């Protein structure tokens, strides 16, 4: 098979010259063709029209210091509205004299989170144990009081960021183990166990959280003996926990499905029983696989803590919402909502970024 | 040297509690007893509590007169004669309306943003990325409250409405826009549309058969579009254009004529669409990215034109990834529409699980009915999804 074209060699060409620099970057990313140029210009105009006024309003023209409405003189945002309510946003209606207790709990909470999150710090097991067992007990004693000579603070007085974090933390800590149990149940070989888990999961996933909260506030009291006094916050927490455990179960189940059957069989061949097999072999691998899903559920849960506003609990959003109806501060709705959005956004965005970091770190075993 | 053992030791059955089958039976029995016990306990408490409060159980209350007014009713309703059963239907219709509007808008915005995120244009891709990161990390309830209290409540009074084309007016009471008014003889147009749809179905089947038999293709898409548009239009003109528009006019302090859209509906619609679109955008992006580059390259090496590559190779594979996830976003949107309660849009939860429950005190019945509605929507949609999934999934042999 010889043809004419194979007889002549193609003359060698010089290697392409490496290109770089801002001009090259602009040419390839923004102005690579007529359509692209138009798109770039339109987008740029859009950004200038949309983003610049926001920055101007929120930072440059804004008022930062003061104590009353009269201090809002600029054309921009009046953050005085937020700063005058700062303590309420953090503590809600918690008695002023007892707020040091909240400070301790919040301080411990953030310290433990930092300990768990920063990879370089040692003793993760101790930290996890503290976070799952120690902190809840300390928080319970300190926040609620009534023992050790601490004044009793009813949950009615709780509010603001501390309430948001309490609900989120209890929801997360409660729904994850429940979700794992439900996921294992759904994959069980016992038909009755499987059926009960499927019905439970599908029920909670099929209804809106709002109706669950409604149910916990109007129906739960009907279902307990009349003499049991059920705290409103506790009822909401139970509803939130049951609701999210169903979502968590589906996330965990997808992880369990991804684990090769041979893993469990190898464990069985070593003589490990069901629970040991799950605890030592299957669950660590499955949970690692679904970390993004679990964190996504945490983020959704954190955002949905704001729904307690509807049943009359005063989380961050409800405190700000209530502040907007204060006759001294009418007309500051945008400032209030923007600030609340910022609070939620920082937590949620932080969680999603951290999950990406952890994913990359745990993926080391598969990197070559 | 090993000698073969003379007798194989008999396999002993061991104690009963080591037998997995017996153990499974025992556990299931225990679980059943626990579940039944809990249910019996709850029912017993509920009975005792209802007795003590003098609440009669049953659905008889649905026939009682409701006596409260609802700000938006798609079906006939009057506070004087309508029953609580009717309030349920009114709320359900409003829920379905805002869900349908939200699904359409969220899909359009979501696809556009998702495609923009994949754009080679750096600026556009970053802008789309910022949209996604901002809107999906802020609670939906907060966004609804923002649109309602911070944006729509800050709009001018009806006299100073924001006006578009002299027929759309946006003010603090909502959006006022022209409403279609049908004249006698209009019924022929929808019938013509129905006929056109049937004709298109027949055309598609015929074209497919023909292609299977001869390999020749018909221009099905332009033909069906022409049918769908031309036939109803022709009938509409032939019957003398029996449709007029009632254009709103400012008279005194309010508008006369036209159609008024509640500000609550606008706020809920905008918030639901923008929030859900952020999630759909991510699904669209991951769906398109999940189609390997080699697929496009293989199609090109078969010298398939670009449009056909997209339609026959890339999109079907991307759809396989996208459709189940987008459907669950639709479900979320329907469930999230229950947040309407927070701003007073009369959806199912606000009207039925709110006002009706408060007036009648029939907590168990009302909550059961409300939850069953959402549950059945969810179950129907996921059943349809599973059907679709089974049809579309990769056939491996």
**Separation of alpha carbons A223 and A239, rounded Å:** 14
Q: A325 or B18, which is more confident?
A: A325
pLDDT of residue B273: 95
pLDDT at B269 (0 to 100): 93
Strands (E), chain B: 162-164, 168-171, 174-177, 179-182, 243-246, 249-251, 254-256, 259-261
A334 reaches B (C-beta below 8 A): yes
Its domain, for residue A171, covers 158-364
Nearest by CB to A208, which of B120, B138, B338? B338
A10 lies in some domain: no
For B342, which of A309, A340, A349 is closest by C-beta distance? A309
Size (chain B), residues: 397
Angle subtended at Cα A359 by Cα A354 and Cα A361, rounded to the nearest 5 degrees? 95
Is the alpha carbon torsion for B26, B28, B31, B33 positive or negative?
A: negative
Q: What is the mean pLDDT of residues A108-122?
A: 85
Looking at CA atoms only, how far is residue B121 from chain A in angstroms? 5
Q: Looking at the complex, does the CB of residue A275 fall below 8 Å from at least one CB of chain B? A: no
A164 and A52 share one domain: no
B153 contact A CB<8A: yes
Residues A305 and A162 grouped into a single domain = yes
Q: Are the Cβ atoms of A225 and B123 closer than 8 angstroms?
A: no
Interchain pair A333, B35: CB under 8 A:
no
Assigned CATH for B84-149+262-392: 1.10.3720.10
Does a structural domain hold residue A77? no
Contacts of A303 in chain B (CB under 8 A): 137-140
- Considering the domain architecture, whether residues A126 and A206 belong to the same structural domain is answered as no
Contact list in A for residue B146 (CB cut-off 8 A) is 333-334, 337, 341
Q: Above 90 in pLDDT, residue A248? A: yes
pLDDT digits (tens, 9 = 90+) for B277-334: 999 999 999 998 888 889 889 998 998 887 888 888 888 888 888 888 888 899 999 9
> Buried b / exposed e across A271-286, counting CB within 10 Å, b at 16+?
ebeeeebbeebbbeeb
pLDDT in tens, A55-94: 888 887 777 777 777 777 777 778 887 888 888 888 888 8
| ipTM of the complex as predicted | 0.86
Q: Six-digit token pair at A365?
A: 């075993």
Inter-chain contact B138–A348, Cβ cutoff 8 Å? yes
Which residues are paired to A140 by β-bridges?
A: none
The predicted pLDDT at position B1 comes to 53
Is pTM, for the whole model, over 0.90?
Answer: no
Q: Chain A interface, mutation test: which of B55, B142, B332, B378, most A Cβ atoms within 10 Å?
A: B142
Mean pLDDT of A228-248: 89
Q: Do B374 and A208 touch (CB under 8 A)?
A: yes
Given a cut of 60, whether residue A4 has pLDDT beyond it is no
The domain ranges of chain B are 31-58, 84-149+262-392
Measured between CB atoms, does B340 come within 8 Å of chain A?
no
Of A190, A214, A218, the CB nearest to B27: A190
pLDDT at B279: 94
Chain A contact set for B119 (CB, 8 A): 39
Chain-chain contact of A32 with B153 (C-beta, under 8 angstroms): no
- A226 versus A287: the higher-pLDDT residue is A287
**Number of domains present in the structure of chain A:** 3
Q: How far apart are CA A336 and CA A338, in angstroms?
A: 6
Domain presence at residue A282: yes
**Predicted pLDDT at B50:** 82
- Does A242 have pLDDT greater than 90? yes
A1 — pLDDT class (breaks 50, 70, 90): very low
Q: Answer yes or no: are the C-beta atoms of A322 and A314 closer than 8 Å.
A: yes
- Which residues in chain B are contacts of A217 at CB distance < 8 A? none
Instruction: State the pLDDT confidence band at A240, using cuts at 50, 70 and 90.
Output: very high
Whether residue A83 is contained in a domain is answered as no
Please give, rounded to a whole number of angstroms, the shortest distance from the CA of B309 to a CA of chain A. 22
Same domain, A124 and A272: no
If asked whether residues A237 and A288 sit together in one domain, one would say: yes
Q: Are strands B259-261 and B174-177 parallel, antiparallel or unpaired?
A: antiparallel
Contact of B353 with chain A, judged by CB distance below 8 Å, is answered with yes
Residue B344 backbone class (left: φ over 0; alpha: ψ -120 to 50; beta: rest): left
Which residues 6+ apart lie within 8 Å of A72 measured at CB?
A63, A66, A78, A80, A81
pLDDT of A257 reads: 87
A127 and A199 share one domain: no
A13 within domain boundaries = no
* A283 interfaces chain B, CB cutoff of 8 Å: no
Q: Is residue A71 part of a domain?
A: no
Residues A133, A101 share a domain: yes
Whether B24 has its CB under 8 Å from any CB of chain A: the answer is yes
Measured CA to CA, the distance from residue A159 to residue A89 in angstroms comes to: 8
Tell me, yes or no, whether A115 and A206 share the same domain. no
Question: Of A132, A152, A172, at which residue does a domain stop?
Answer: A152
- Domain CATH number, residue A316: 1.10.3720.10
- Residues (pLDDT < 70) of chain B are 1-14, 252-253, 394-397
- Look at A349 and B133 and tell me if their CB atoms are within 8 Å: yes
Output the DSSP codes for B297-315. Answer: HHHHHTT--HHHIIIIIIH
A219: nearest CB among B141, B143, B363: B363
- Mean pLDDT score of chain A, rounded to an integer? 85
**A141 neighbors A135 (Cβ within 8 angstroms):** no
User: A315 by DSSP, 3-state: which?
Assistant: strand
Contact across the interface for B371 and A337, Cβ inside 8 Å: no
Cross-chain Cβ contact B379/A202 below 8 Å: yes
Best of A299, A325, A326, A337 to disrupt the B interface (most B CBs within 10 Å) is A337
For chain B, say whether A205 makes contact (Cβ under 8 Å).
Answer: yes
B122: left (phi over 0), alpha (psi -120 to 50) or beta: alpha
Do both A282 and A172 map to the same domain?
A: yes
In this structure, the answer to whether residues A185 and A119 fall within a common structural domain is: no
Per-residue DSSP letter, A67: S
């Amino acid at each position: 098979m010889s043809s004419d074209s194979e007889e002549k060699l193609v003359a060698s060409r010089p290697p392409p010259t490496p290109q770089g620099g801002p001009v090259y970057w602009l040419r390839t990313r923004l102005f690579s063709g007529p359509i692209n140029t138009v798109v770039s210009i339109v987008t740029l105009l859009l950004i200038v029209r949309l983003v610049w006024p926001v920055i101007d309003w929120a930072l440059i023209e804004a008022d930062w210091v003061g104590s009353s409405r009269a201090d809002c003189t600029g054309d921009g945002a009046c953050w005085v509205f937020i700063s005058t309510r700062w303590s309420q946003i953090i503590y809600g209606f918690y008695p002023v004299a007892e707020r040091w207790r909240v400070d301790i709990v919040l301080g411990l909470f953030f310290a433990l989170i930092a300990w768990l999150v920063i990879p370089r710090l040692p003793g993760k097991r101790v930290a996890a144990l503290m976070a799952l067992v120690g902190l809840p007990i300390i928080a319970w004693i300190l926040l609620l009081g009534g023992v050790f000579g601490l004044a009793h603070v009813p949950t009615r007085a709780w509010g603001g960021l501390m309430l948001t974090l309490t609900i989120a933390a209890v929801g997360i800590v409660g729904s994850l183990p429940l979700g794992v149990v439900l996921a294992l149940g759904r994959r069980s070989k016992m038909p009755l166990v499987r059926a009960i888990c499927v019905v439970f999961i599908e029920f909670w996933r099929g209804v809106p959280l709002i109706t669950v909260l409604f149910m916990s506030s109007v129906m739960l009291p009907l279902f307990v003996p009349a003499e049991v006094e059920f705290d409103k916050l506790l009822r909401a927490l139970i509803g939130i926990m049951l609701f999210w455990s169903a979502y968590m179960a589906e996330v965990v189940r997808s992880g369990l499905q991804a684990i090769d059957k041979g893993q469990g069989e190898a464990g069985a061949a070593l003589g490990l029983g069901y629970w040991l097999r799950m605890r030592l072999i299957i669950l660590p691998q499955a949970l690692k696989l679904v970390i993004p899903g679990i964190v996504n559920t945490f983020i959704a849960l954190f955002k949905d803590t704001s729904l307690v506003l509807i049943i009359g609990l005063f989380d961050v959003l409800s405190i700000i919402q209530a502040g907007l109806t204060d006759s001294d501060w009418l007309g500051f709705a945008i400032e209030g909502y923007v600030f609340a959005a910022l609070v939620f956004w920082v937590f949620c965005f932080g969680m999603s970024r951290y999950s990406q970091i952890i994913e990359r770190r745990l993926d080391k075993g598969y990197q070559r | 040297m090993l000698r073969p053992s003379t007798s194989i030791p008999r396999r002993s059955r061991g104690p009963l509690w080591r037998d997995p089958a017996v153990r499974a039976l025992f556990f299931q029995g225990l679980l059943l007893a626990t579940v039944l016990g809990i249910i019996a306990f709850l029912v017993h408490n509920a009975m005792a509590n209802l007795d003590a409060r003098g609440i009669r159980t049953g659905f008889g209350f649905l026939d009682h007169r409701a006596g409260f007014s609802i700000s938006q009713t798609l079906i006939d309703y009057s506070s004087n004669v309508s029953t609580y059963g009717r309030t349920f239907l009114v709320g359900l219709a409003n829920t379905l309306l805002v869900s349908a509007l939200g699904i359409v808008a969220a899909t359009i915005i979501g696809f556009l943003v998702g495609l923009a995120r994949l754009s080679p244009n750096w600026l556009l891709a970053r802008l789309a990325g910022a949209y996604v990161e901002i809107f999906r990390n802020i609670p939906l309830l907060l966004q609804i409250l923002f649109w309602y209290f911070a944006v729509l409540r800050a709009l001018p009074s009806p006299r100073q409405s924001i006006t578009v084309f002299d027929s759309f007016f946006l003010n603090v009471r909502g959006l006022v826009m022209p409403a279609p008014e049908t004249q006698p003889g209009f019924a022929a147009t929808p019938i013509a549309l129905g006929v056109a749809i049937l004709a298109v179905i027949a055309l598609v089947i015929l074209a497919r058969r023909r292609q299977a038999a001869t390999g020749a293709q018909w221009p099905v898409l332009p033909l069906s579009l022409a049918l769908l548009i031309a036939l109803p239009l022709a009938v509409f003109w032939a019957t003398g254009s029996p449709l007029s528009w009632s254009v709103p006019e400012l008279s005194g302090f309010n508008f006369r004529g036209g159609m008024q859209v509640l500000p609550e509906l606008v706020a809920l619609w905008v918030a639901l669409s923008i929030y859900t679109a952020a999630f759909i955008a991510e699904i669209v992006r991951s769906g398109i990215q999940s189609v390997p580059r080699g697929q496009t390259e293989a199609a090109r090496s078969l010298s398939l034109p670009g449009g056909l590559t997209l339609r026959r190779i890339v999109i079907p594979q991307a759809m396989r990834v996208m459709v189940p996830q987008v459907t669950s976003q639709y479900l979320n949107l329907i469930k999230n529409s229950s947040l309407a309660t927070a701003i007073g849009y009369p959806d199912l939860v606000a009207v039925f699980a709110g006002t009706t429950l408060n007036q009648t005190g029939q907590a168990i019945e009302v909550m059961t009915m409300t939850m069953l509605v959402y549950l059945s929507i969810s179950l129907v949609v996921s059943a349809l999804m599973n059907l679709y999934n089974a049809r579309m999934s990769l056939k491996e042999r």
